[in-house]
Structure 1
Amino acid sequence: MLKRTVGRLKRETSVLMFGAASLGQVTQEEADASIAFALAHGVDHFDTAASYGDAELRMGPTISRVRNDIFLATKTGQRTKKEAKEEIYRSLERMKVDSVDLLQLHAVGSMEELDRCTAKGGSLEAALEAQSEGIVKEIGITGHGHQAPAVHLEALRRFPFATILFPLNYYMYGLPDYREAVDALMEEANKQQTAIRVIKAIAKAPWIEGAERPYATWYEPFDQQEIIDACVHFVLSFPSVCGFASAGDVHLFPKIVDAVERYGTMSKEDMERILSGISGYTSVFGAPTSIA
């Protein structure tokens, strides 16, 4: 399993992050099997959130046992200090752990959300307090949608977040405005040694209304191995990307692991040929909108 350093944390972890959204609605047996598969293949970077259904509960039995061997990250979507602090403690209790390596302010994809998090009495204060108590080691920020890179660039101007997490895939990076925002964010993140982590690597498009949905993801994912290989090749071709989250369905996880284990065997030309020729490939977040 390929590993990269998580920014200024100076800690090497697997480039594949176990995206625990996949555990939100599965049985304990399914969760245990998926986590066991991840550990057996060298995945030691686990990323979850308080809002991922029962994910934290499902992680608890195994994660508490291997806590010292993994990098553990969770998220709070609350915006006030009081509510965020309560959610942080609840996450620790659900996972049966005493601390997390990373606590992220979740789904900060607009300037309005960023203002709420960084305002007096906002969730950033809860994260800082938790860090002073030793239950949170580092503080990060995540965001969805086309505005996320620009919002996170502003976030780094307000606070030295240790990590950022935002959408990146071949289609979205091909949008000129999005590419410009991502490039600017990556430049600043590299200056600050902020770890760059990404999501939606194998996202294809929004689900077609009325169509069968064979996966638990809220968007239609790619499920053909060759395309997943190309998607993984694309995101890992950015040297500053230290990790990407797996899709939110346990049945896709082995294919993503397989792609990472073979990273480097696909040429850039083959990657371009595969991804540029896909019909129906678009942004799962709809049409881009201005952040103004």
Structure 2
Amino acid sequence: MEYRKLPHGEEQISILGLGTSSIGKAGEKEIQATVELALERGINFFDMASADAAPFPAYGRAIAGVRDRVYFQLHFGADYQSGAYGWTTELDAIKRSVSWQLEALNTDYIDFGFLHCLDEEADLRQVVDGGVLDYVQQLQREGVVRHIGLSSHTPLVANQALDLGILDLLMFSINPGYDYHHGDYAIGGADERMALYRRCEAEGVGISVMKAFSGGQLLDAGTSPFGQALTEYQCIQYALDKPGVLTVLPGVRSREDLERVLGFLDASQEERDYSVLGTFAPAEAAGACVYCNHCQPCPAGLDVGLINKYYDLARAGDQLARSHYENLERHAGDCIRCGHCDRRCPFHVTQTGRMEEIQAYFGQ
């Protein structure tokens, strides 16, 4: 397993986590066994936005004795007291639901307390004006909540929450379908969505990724908006390459599903390569580096994707991006203008021109 550090903390988070949206129907024994297998294989991050209440007690049993190795996302606004999922911004209902979730998980603290599924500006206002945010912050002062997060599908709302300066983690829907305007949650243009990812990294707000497979639509040529199926590994790598992303949270239904997803860790570069997107991404996506590194290997030894990423992040206000760039072994000024990357780029980026631009910006 690989791990990425939470910028606003010391937590090392596994790049593959576990979503609970699909596992409720598996039965308590299979749910518990799946979580135990995940822990055994190095997964330490679990999202608890479940479709029903069933996973909670099974998770509680699975983590008994190893709670300190586990990070939970618990959602302030997801309500399971009836046994089925419900959504609310009503403070008293949220208090009851959070208490139930803690009891079911047999824990007395929440690693990441999430303002749950705020997709409309009015939802965010309700959470702020209705006392929900104050409640989460009170629990944080008391040590019950370690970090505050937000789950959303809407860049505008996510940016407004970032403006409040409260977030350590954003749960956001990232996949090529949504980023290129396909699907129910394809909110915001490609540039707007990428700007959000860059802002998160620049401000030290990590991203946990939901809907990496677009609810399975991207995995089937018949339902993929591109008319061509992608693989789970391509979708996972696509999300992990986005600025700010710490972990991807596939929803699994069983240990069999989990084993398949874990195969990503041993997958070859070819199996993870999503450069095929360049053949059917919209025209507006052309000319924008997505850091896929399909242009590798560079004859001059440049990490072209990373050079582009640090440049974009520096322009987005990331104070550390310049020092990260300066610590690279090769810089844009080392480009020999051979054109190898220009010919290889599936998104038609003129990287030789970009290298000149980046050299001028950083001075090397």
Structure of greater relative contact order (alpha carbons < 8 Å, 6+ residues apart): 1
Of 185, 198, 202, 1:191 maps to: 202
| Residue 236 (structure 1) aligned with residue 237 (structure 2) | no
Alpha-carbon deviation of 1:16? 0.9
TM, length-normalised to structure 1:
0.79
Distance in structure 2 (CA, Å) of the matches to 1:41 and 1:70: 13
Structure 1 runs, 4 residues or longer, greater than 6 Å off: none
Counting matched residue pairs gives 260
Of 228, 253, 257, 1:252 maps to: 257
> Is the CA contact 1:201–1:232 (under 8 Å) kept in the aligned structure 2?
yes
| Residue 158 (structure 1) aligned with residue 168 (structure 2) | no
> Is the CA contact 1:99–1:136 (under 8 Å) kept in the aligned structure 2?
yes
Aligned to 2:294: none
Distance in structure 1 (CA, Å) of the matches to 2:61 and 2:99: 17
> Is the CA contact 1:3–1:13 (under 8 Å) kept in the aligned structure 2?
yes
1:77-121 CA deviation, whole Å, 9 max, x = no partner?
A: 1313322222221111010011111110111111111111111x3
Q: Say what the alpha-carbon RMSD is for the aligned residues.
A: 3.0
> Is the CA contact 1:101–1:138 (under 8 Å) kept in the aligned structure 2?
yes
Letter in 2 for 1:244: V
Aligned pairs for 1:56-135 (under 5 A) are: 56-77=56-77, 78-119=88-129, 121-135=130-144
**Higher Cα radius of gyration:** 2
Quickly say closer, same or farther: Cα 1:188–1:65, change in 2 above 3 A: same
1:241-262 CA deviation, whole Å, 9 max, x = no partner?
A: 1011112533532221111x13
Distance in structure 2 (CA, Å) of the matches to 1:34 and 1:179: 35
Letter in 2 for 1:253: L
Letter in 2 for 1:9: G
Percent of counterpart pairs with the same letter?
A: 21
Distance in structure 1 (CA, Å) of the matches to 2:268 and 2:240: 9
Distance in structure 2 (CA, Å) of the matches to 1:143 and 1:2: 26
TM, length-normalised to structure 2:
0.64
Task: List alignment gaps of at least 5 residues for structure 1.
Answer: 209-218, 279-292
More off after superposition, 19-28 vs 123-132 = 19-28
Aligned pairs for 1:209-224 (under 5 A) are: none
More off after superposition, 179-188 vs 99-108 = 179-188
Aligned to 1:4: 4
Task: List alignment gaps of at least 5 residues for structure 2.
Answer: 78-87, 282-364
Distance in structure 2 (CA, Å) of the matches to 1:124 and 1:40: 35
Distance in structure 1 (CA, Å) of the matches to 2:52 and 2:146: 21
Letter in 2 for 1:140: G
Alpha-carbon deviation of 1:277? 7.1
Aligned to 2:149: 140
Distance in structure 2 (CA, Å) of the matches to 1:105 and 1:64: 26
Aligned pairs for 1:11-50 (under 5 A) are: 11-49=11-49
Distance in structure 1 (CA, Å) of the matches to 2:191 and 2:277: 24
> Is the CA contact 2:169–2:206 (under 8 Å) kept in the aligned structure 1?
yes
1:151-209 CA deviation, whole Å, 9 max, x = no partner?
A: 10111112421111111001222239432222221232223211111111122439x9x
